[in-house]
Structure 1
Amino acid sequence: MSVADLPKIELHLHHEGAAPPAFIRQLAHEKKVDLSRIFDSNGGYAFENFVHFLEVYEAATSVLQTPEDFARLTRAILQESAEQGVVYTESFISPDFCGGGDVAAWREYLHAIQEAATRAEADFGITLRGIVTPVRHFGPEKAKQSALCAAETAGDWVVGLGMGGDEGQGHQGDFAYAFDMAREAGLRLTTHAGEFGGPESVWEAIRDLNVERIGHGVRAIEDPALIDELVARQITLEVCPGSNVVLGLYPDIAAHPLAKLRDAGVRVTVSTDDPPFFHTTMRREYEMIAAAYGWGEDDFRALNQTALEAAFCDDTTRARIQKTLEST
């Protein structure tokens, strides 16, 4: 069996960022919105750097305006992920884009997303759980609104709180109130750090937010003391190699620190981040990693086992996904 054919678990997927370009173009056409500026000549998303990527991302998201739009998006995402062999995924979903942070509106969007996910699970065999996601560059007050949405809908489906956005805006500790609110509601915690923010942003995430997972976290390789801390705390990194290369953190997969992090004892997983933006898929990630590091089937099975252990789902769901991993 090719490693790319293995069943896969993905823990770092942005819901809106996984929208296929064709889906967004169709939605823009239906709503008579001109988004031609965000696409290249081949129909893909076009951006020049990380800040521009965020602008294009938010422009694409602007045509997702109703619960039904998000239901359609959810099905499109899950169908594509299932085709890549993903059997369980957690996606980052922001109330800022689903009702503007209003709890009542958020419930309507969430209901539509969950219904679509349930149908997709029956049709495609993929399980989705949601991580509510404040957007860092929208500021701490907006993050509190998102955290309230998360706390009010916490349960078997909304399983965590994360934070994405521009790492250059403020500090992790500025969002402690939002994370404390989510923690008190029983939600699990992750945050983006150690991508553009460097090792210090990972230290902040550990010290000020007390998260159990880190989105990206790859810049930790630059600080041996931080590596020791990650290993001691058994913090899991949601690593997105293809994304890191496209955004210029590393010149290619061979130069990426994924293998060094794993060899140092850090718990690592692999995800796509915003796959159509970065021209990647989970199959492509596996193929690139196998070619760069010589990893074989046992390495990828161990990678998925780590991801399952780090997943925020309940134990019943975890046991079911475990059987799926073991049956192939």
Structure 2
Amino acid sequence: MTSAELPAELPKVELHLHFEGAAPPEFIRQLAFEKKIDISRIFAPDGSYAFENFVHFLQVYEAATSVLQTPEDFAQLTRAVLEKSAENGVIYTETFLSPDFCGGGDVAAWREYLHAIQEAANRAEVDFGVIMRGIVTPVRHFGPDQAKRTALCAAETAGDWIVGLGMGGDEGKGHQGDFAYAFDMAREAGLRLTTHAGEFGGPQSVWEAIRDLNVERIGHGVRAIEDRALVQELVARQITLEVCPGSNVVLGLYPDFKTHPIARLRDAGVKVTVSTDDPPFFHTTMRREYDMLAEAFGWGMDDFRALNTVAIDAAFCDEDTRARVKKELEKA
């Protein structure tokens, strides 16, 4: 098999990428140095991010994000992230953006940050050939009241570029239904909906996401495999899972790729996609995800083409953008 026939060389669609979590550690270290902020404790001796478990990961994530303080910082981050995405063959990415980190949830400040991010993304699309769209993200452990402010930011900037709302953060804090007001606000503004569930929260968190938030996609969702009725519900509702296998392995949900349930979910008829989550934190890339899945399950080119078709069909973008991306996928 030539390099052109390797699955990892295919153009790719990624639906689950945390913006700040995709920041290369060298980018964050340099910014911290320039701002004279000491966050050396979050790095391992080899310069990578260092954390011990999921809760510690969230703390390290927020520490790294603390050096991102101006719209220009986020513009530079946009270019750095999209350059890495393009290097891994990604041609379309949906990125989780949190107004909590871009102006503290204030709508006017959020507009300034968003303008800088979007301008940088448009330039990166020309330079690197990767299309980015934004999903505004309430942080679950910041609470329902802050989520309402975040949803207002999303509603006020909804359009062809801000295309969805999707909650992240600590699944152990509260219940999905606690955030129904924020999701209803986003829905009324025409935004599409996703939320993290079925990672550390178990199958019940997926049931809550479906019942209480009425989302059309689930971030992770892999622990649905533990509940046959839930798997059947996902198939019946045609809900797409934004699966991040490498992240799940690093955070200890599964010991390795071979035991990861993505193949079983797919075989059961669930719509699954592949993403990196927070790639530098989890020492992964989209190329590595493809390589590891091919090795673990024997998936070939047709399997990965099918995954990308599912992903672009589930993307929250407008139909013109979807058609453009599909055309590029078909060329491969």
Aligned residues: 328
Structure 2 letter corresponding to 1:327: K
Is residue 3 of structure 1 aligned with residue 7 of structure 2?
yes
1:291-325 superposed Cα distances (whole Å, 9 cap, x missing partner): 00000000000000000000000000000001100
Match of 1:244 among 248, 252, 255: 248
In the other structure, the counterpart of 2:109 is: 105
Q: CA deviation at 1:140?
A: 0.1
CA–CA distance in 1 between the matches of 2:326 and 2:311? 11
Question: SS of the counterpart of 1:122?
Answer: helix
Is residue 290 of structure 1 aligned with residue 294 of structure 2?
yes
Is residue 45 of structure 1 aligned with residue 60 of structure 2?
no
Q: CA deviation at 1:136?
A: 0.1
Question: SS of the counterpart of 2:273?
Answer: strand
In the other structure, the counterpart of 1:197 is: 201
Segments of structure 1 that go 5 or more residues without pairing to the other structure are none
In the other structure, the counterpart of 2:95 is: 91
Which aligned pairs between 1:130-145 and structure 2 lie closer than 5 A?
Answer: 130-145=134-149
CA–CA distance in 2 between the matches of 1:159 and 1:283? 26
1:256-288 superposed Cα distances (whole Å, 9 cap, x missing partner): 000000000000000000000000000000000
CA–CA distance in 2 between the matches of 1:289 and 1:323? 25
Q: CA deviation at 1:16?
A: 0.2
Is residue 73 of structure 1 aligned with residue 77 of structure 2?
yes
4+ long deviations beyond 6 Å:
none
Is residue 162 of structure 1 aligned with residue 166 of structure 2?
yes
Percent identity for Structure 1 against Structure 2: 82
CA–CA distance in 1 between the matches of 2:125 and 2:83? 9
Match of 1:115 among 91, 103, 119: 119
Which aligned pairs between 1:216-295 and structure 2 lie closer than 5 A?
Answer: 216-295=220-299
CA–CA distance in 1 between the matches of 2:107 and 2:38? 30
CA–CA distance in 2 between the matches of 1:144 and 1:65? 22
Structure 2 letter corresponding to 1:315: E
CA–CA distance in 1 between the matches of 2:107 and 2:203? 35
Q: CA deviation at 1:327?
A: 1.0
Q: CA deviation at 1:18?
A: 0.1
Cα RMSD (Å) of the superposition?
Answer: 0.2
Structure 2 letter corresponding to 1:185: A
1:39-93 superposed Cα distances (whole Å, 9 cap, x missing partner): 0000000000000000000000000000000000000000000000000000000
Structure 2 letter corresponding to 1:192: H
CA–CA distance in 2 between the matches of 1:275 and 1:61? 15
TM-score, length-scaled by structure 1: 1.00
Is residue 315 of structure 1 aligned with residue 319 of structure 2?
yes
TM-score, length-scaled by structure 2: 0.99
